[in-house]
Chain A
């Protein structure tokens, strides 16, 4: 129990996971069923991230009560910078892989591709603008 830094986040994660699993069992045919299954997997993912976060002091620390020191800031920045890079690569690789294995029909694949690459292009634009902003202000 000592490893759990926030019981609230732990319980919240468990609740998310249970809701996600219930959604996975609530199977249906057709588009609605497929979308509900995907949403169930995603809710489970949010639950897992909450659960993992509850084990991390940096993720659940109340900054107003315990102001973050230099090490805390460094850890959070590193984690976020790496998360962005990893998610960017995953987003670039997943749509072609899904297409290669014929996992979804071509119409759905096109819609998902547009949505994923849309997020990616907005993210790249924001990152490039932020790089210039920090270059000038640091």
Chain B
């Protein structure tokens, strides 16, 4: 694996290692709440930074005009991400319903459904926009 941006990689490692340590500490104290959820997210951010540092397209200078292949790669990645995110959102909603009880579960489910609705609304608008433009 080649690392294209070292500082992004280091930042990702710091985020992931710090949050992992924090999560273990909270778990040992038996504190399983929003703090732990936030640390898990920070770990995921760290992991995504590490992966981003290994992608040429993600770390490429924006002033450097992307060629046709670059544009295609970015479009394909964005295209597939939306499908993947929609599936992940539904899986998370089902898991939250099964695991967490009470008002928290409903807040999270409403937020998940809100993001899902927003994604498809923007997609419909973008489809009409690009259909007319191209």
B120 contacts across to A, CB distance below 8 A:
46, 49, 53
* SS class, residues of chain A in contact with chain B: helix
A116 contacts across to B, CB distance below 8 A:
111, 115
Please tell me the number of chain A residues within 8 Å of chain B, measured between CB atoms.
62
Asked whether, in the complex, the Cβ of B73 is within 8 Å of the Cβ of A138, the reply is yes
* SS class, residues of chain B in contact with chain A: helix
Asked whether, in the complex, the Cβ of A131 is within 8 Å of the Cβ of B74, the reply is yes
Query: What distance in Å separates the Cβ of B23 from its nearest Cβ neighbour in chain A?
Result: 14
Asked whether, in the complex, the Cβ of B103 is within 8 Å of the Cβ of A45, the reply is no
Complex-state Cα separation, A3 to B125, whole angstroms: 15
Query: What distance in Å separates the Cβ of A68 from its nearest Cβ neighbour in chain B?
Result: 13
Q: Which of B51, B72, B81 is the most central at the interface, judged by chain A CB atoms within 10 Å of its CB?
A: B81
Q: Write the residues of chain B forming the contact surface with A, with a CB cutoff of 8 angstroms.
A: 34, 37-38, 40-41, 44-45, 47-48, 51-52, 54-58, 69, 72-85, 88-89, 92, 103-104, 106-108, 110-131, 134
